[in-house]
A and B are shown apart, each in its own frame.
Chain A
């Protein structure tokens, strides 16, 4: 029985991956086509692409839910809907960004340089006007510009996925961006009931039960207030320490 159940789970998980693959290819093709379709402005073009990506991610989550593979809830979504906020999240799994972008159709997002330069994902990400994490000072300037123009910006301050069981290590770029923009920081705590699609785990490792995810936003930090009167170097350390404490307490 359990063998049959396990086989059935693998089949459904496979269907989910195939769905993601087909959808992903469709989005890449659509991006290539949309690049040639005129748009009112650059920002209208970006919003269009962002909505496409967000719809794709929402559809993927719906598929995983319908197939009984995934269950999730999001508390405090209203915190995320205020424009011009820096949304910082911990990064336990490969699909964290899928949730956040599905919930925030027009948000900007800091993405890994490798994906930015990849010929396939690059077409999509560049057209969406997302922000590459290429170079420190440039990332901060781009992030600042994005926030002050009213975007919400998603960033994973760990810079890469967490390693389960190891202490959280944050880079200070997120704090620098918030300080430069005078933006509020909204932390989102993402928790998986069991580690899933984490760093170092092969993607084909099928979880033994339904993936249960809870995401929670319940406050915002005023970065500027915490860094007032301090040199940026010290302010960024202080703000990063606050974010670190917030996540460490809630993930314990």
Chain B
């Protein structure tokens, strides 16, 4: 079972390797679009990647309400319950 810090570690890795986000910009309250330059097209790739590494299927619909790094962690975590 994944805990929140595992999910966060996977997410950090993805943000850095897939989108070239500088590691120091990734904070729990960092906003995806405004602070990290992750757009709606990136979100699609991110969902697929997170599914591959965590086995959790996040729906694109659920992702639309996601604003920050911690929102993603919470959404994925809720789905592992």
Chain A: residues with CB nearer than 8 A to chain B? 136-137, 140, 171-173, 176, 231-234, 236-237
Give the docked Cα–Cα distance between A236 and B42 (Å): 10
Task: Digitize B11-27: 1 where CB-to-A-CB distance is under 8 Å, 0 elsewhere.
Answer: 00000001110000000
Contact assessment for B41 and A234 in the assembled complex, using a CB-CB cutoff below 8 Å? no
Chain A residues with Cβ below 8 Å from B40 are: 136
Are B20 and A172 interface neighbours, CB within 8 A?
no
Asked if B44 is at the interface (CB within 8 A of a chain A CB), the reply is yes
User: Which chain B residues numbered 42 to 60 have a C-beta less than 8 Å away from chain A?
Assistant: 42, 44-45
Note all chain B residues with C-beta closer than 8 A to A237.
19-20
- Which 5 pairs, one residue from A and one from B, show the smallest C-beta to C-beta distance? A136-B40, A136-B41, A233-B18, A233-B45, A233-B19
9 more contacts with CB within 8 A, not counting A172-B41, A233-B18, are: A137-B41, A137-B44, A171-B39, A172-B39, A176-B41, A231-B45, A232-B45, A233-B19, A237-B20
> Which residue of chain B has the shortest Cβ distance to A140 in the bound complex?
B41
Residue pairs across A and B with Cβ atoms less than 8 A apart, 11 shown, are A136-B39, A136-B44, A137-B41, A137-B44, A172-B39, A172-B42, A176-B41, A233-B42, A233-B45, A234-B18, A234-B20
- Give A135's nearest chain B residue, CB to CB: B40
Q: Count residues of B near A (Cβ-Cβ below 8 Å).
A: 9
Q: Which residues of B contact A176 (CB under 8 A)?
A: 41
| Chain B residues proximal to chain A, CB less than 8 Å | 18-20, 39-42, 44-45
Q: How many angstroms between the C-alpha atoms of A237 and B45 in the bound complex? A: 13
Closest A residue, CB atoms, query B41 = A136
> Which chain B residue has the least Cβ–Cβ distance from A232?
B45
Min distance, Cβ A96 to any Cβ of chain B, angstroms: 23
Q: Which chain A positions have C-beta within 8 A of B45?
A: 231-233
- Chain A residue numbers with a CB within 8 Å of B42 are 172, 233
Say which residue of A137, A140, A171, A234 sits within 8 Å of B19 (CB atoms): A234
Q: With A and B bound together, what is the CA distance between A232 and B40 in angstroms?
A: 14
Q: Which residues of B contact A136 (CB under 8 A)?
A: 39-41, 44
Q: Measured between alpha carbons, how far is A176 from B42 in the docked complex, in Å? A: 10
Q: Could you tell me the distance in whole angstroms from the C-beta of A167 to the nearest C-beta in chain B?
A: 14
- Chain B's nearest CB lies how many Å from the CB of A172? 6
Please indicate the chain A residues that have their CB under 8 angstroms from the CB of B44 in the complex. Answer: 136-137
Minimal beta-carbon separation of A159 from chain B (angstroms): 10
Q: Which residue of B lies closest to A171 (CB)?
A: B39
Chain B: minimal CB distance from A139 (Å): 9
- Contact: B18 with A173, CB < 8 Å? no
In the complex, which residues of chain A have a beta carbon less than 8 angstroms from the beta carbon of B18? 231, 233-234
| Nearest neighbor of B39 in chain A, beta-carbon distance | A172
Residue of A nearest to B37 (CB): A237
Contacts of A171 in B (CB 8 A): 39
Give the nearest-CB partner of A175 in chain B: B41
CA distance A140 to B40 in the complex (A): 12
Bound state CA distance, A188 and B11, in angstroms?
38
Q: Which residue of B lies closest to A234 (CB)?
A: B20
